[in-house]
Every structure is written in structure tokens, then in C-alpha cells.
Amino acid sequence: ETGVTQTPRHLVMGMTNKKSLKCEQHLGHNAMYWYKQSAKKPLELMFVYSLEERVENNSVPSRFSPECPNSSHLFLHLHTLQPEDSALYLCASSQDWASGSTYNEQFFGPGTRLTVL
């Protein structure tokens, strides 16, 4: 156990559905991340939150909407997804998010396997 939990672990949704992924970290960290892992592709960073403020948004389509109500919780709201959005969505956290820091090791959750029909 890494101290980062994600729910649900598996999700199947239609293209017109609205769903949300949840991530919770029990490590007292200040930074949280969403990554997308598609088959045979490197992990792609989607969003970064530091102290509940979004600090990175890597050209992610607006059908993905993150929310960070507090430093322990991170959500990814999904709306009108496409079949190519099917992937493993991983959440991670680190002590801080600081440019140039060499000690901000990221701890990953188990992921949510998303299938869009």
C-alpha cells in the first residue's frame, strides 16, 4: 500500500455519461497528480495540483475536469468521453510540488481502469 487510494477501480461508461474518479491520499502531501496510461504509450501527465491550486494542465480536452477540494482529495470529472479515452487513470501525490526540487518522490495509487463504449 502506498497511502494513495483510488475509486472506483474499474469503470465502464457510455459516451454520454457523466462520471467521476476519486483519489485520496493519507500521506499528508501537498501535491496531487492525474496521469493517463494508454496501451503501449508512456504515462501522460494530465493535471497537477499544489496546495489545492492547479499548477499544470497539459493540453487536456475539456471533457476531463479536475477538482481538488482539499489537499487530501482529488477528483477527475468525466463528461462526453470518446472511446480513445479508455485507459488506466493513475493518481499520485508528493510532499510538495516545487520547481527544481529533487526530493519530491511521487507515490501512485492503484489506478482506475476506464472503458468508454
Partner 1 sequence: KQEVTQIPAALSVPEGENLVLNCSFTDSAIYNLQWFRQDPGKGLTSLLLIQSSQREQTSGRLNASLDKSSGRSTLYIAASQPGDSATYLCAVKDGANNLFFGTGTRLTVIP
Tell me how far apart the alpha carbons of residues 57 and 52 are, in angstroms, rounded to a whole number.
14
Q: What are the residues binding partner 1 (CB under 8 A)?
A: 2, 4, 6, 40-43, 45, 56, 88, 90, 92, 97-102, 104-111, 113
Tell me how far apart the alpha carbons of residues 13 and 19 are, in angstroms, rounded to a whole number.
8
CB of 6 to partner 1, least distance (A): 8
* Residue 71: exposure state from Cβ atoms within 10 A (0-12, 13-18, ≥19): middle
**Between 82 and 101, CB nearer to partner 1:** 101
CB of 80 to partner 1, least distance (A): 26
